[in-house]
Amino acid sequence: MKLYKSNEPNTFHYVTLVTHNRVPVFRGDEACQVFVDVLSEVREKFPYKLIGYVLMPDHVHAIVNNRINTISEWLHRVRGNSARKILAWLRDERHLMSLKKLELANPQKRQHTHAVWQKDPSVIDLWSHKFVRQKLNYLHLNPVRAGLCAHPVNWKWSSYRAYLPHKPNEVPIEIDWRAYWKDEELAIGNSNHAQKSGDVATRRKKRRAVARL
């Protein structure tokens, strides 16, 4: 499902990622921690606002507000980095049964033999505060509806406890209390992005020039 059309600043996106073949990749804390670490790494390098999230055994929901770029680029970074690190962890820990379930019938480009995620993620634009609250409540209650816990506060891998009073490092990842970007922050982000894009274009031109020698 792709119900997103806008790349306007301060657009909230409700993202759903489903694991390949519905394999319960996130049934243990290790894989959950790997995914949360990727969320933190991406936020540090390519700033975005994390409004809420939940990790379920075979899927993930998140509400994010990108500063620059499109939601597709956020998806590319989060999905790609998390898949690479989760597969590396599964191989290191010899989780052969899980790897077998994630195996592709036909190897993809770059000799990819396994997949963590289904191909088409779902992204929905949230245009009102009411819609954001509705989706936030929905994702926080997801573990309760699935019978995984009695109350959202008992589920470690969601943003529910981040909205409650807590000590530093008591939650897997902090949410962003100021959900909207200021105009000056957007301007700085766009300026930095333009400079990086120019640097990339220059490097590509140099490589092509060297290749012609």
pLDDT digits (tens, 9 = 90+) for 112-139: 899 999 999 999 999 999 999 999 999 9
Do 118 and 212 reside in the same domain of the chain?
no
Do 212 and 116 reside in the same domain of the chain?
no
Between helix 71-92 and helix 29-45 the angle, nearest 10°, is: 140
* pLDDT tens-place string over residues 12-32: 999 999 999 999 999 999 999
**Looking at residue 75, which CATH number applies to its domain?**
3.30.70.1290
| Window from 65-74, 91-100, 153-162, 183-192 with minimum mean pLDDT | 183-192
Residue 186's domain comprises 182-213
Do 126 and 208 reside in the same domain of the chain?
no
Residue 187 — very low, low, confident or very high, per pLDDT cuts 50/70/90? confident
- 3-class secondary-structure state, position 158: strand
Do 126 and 139 reside in the same domain of the chain?
yes
Do 38 and 137 reside in the same domain of the chain?
yes
pLDDT at 68: 83
How far is residue 143 from each of residues 14, 53, 140, 147, 156, measured CA to CA in Å?
17, 12, 7, 6, 10
pLDDT at 211: 55
- Residue 93 pLDDT greater than 80, yes or no: yes
CA distance 86 to 90: 6
How far is residue 26 from each of residues 125, 127, 210, measured CA to CA in Å?
26, 30, 46
Do 60 and 164 reside in the same domain of the chain?
yes
How does DSSP classify residue 180? S
Do 156 and 61 reside in the same domain of the chain?
yes
**Tokens representing residue 21 in the block:** 């073949």
Contacts of 187 (CB under 8 A, 6+ apart): none
Total number of domains in the chain: 2
Residue 177 — very low, low, confident or very high, per pLDDT cuts 50/70/90? very high
* pLDDT tens-place string over residues 30-61: 999 999 999 999 999 999 999 999 999 999 99
Contacts of 73 (CB under 8 A, 6+ apart): 46, 66
Do 150 and 196 reside in the same domain of the chain?
no
Do 104 and 148 reside in the same domain of the chain?
yes
Token pair 């509705």 is found at 134
CA distance 208 to 62: 40
Do 164 and 189 reside in the same domain of the chain?
no
Q: Which helix (H) or strand (E) holds 194?
A: helix 183-211
CA distance 154 to 90: 26
Do 87 and 144 reside in the same domain of the chain?
yes
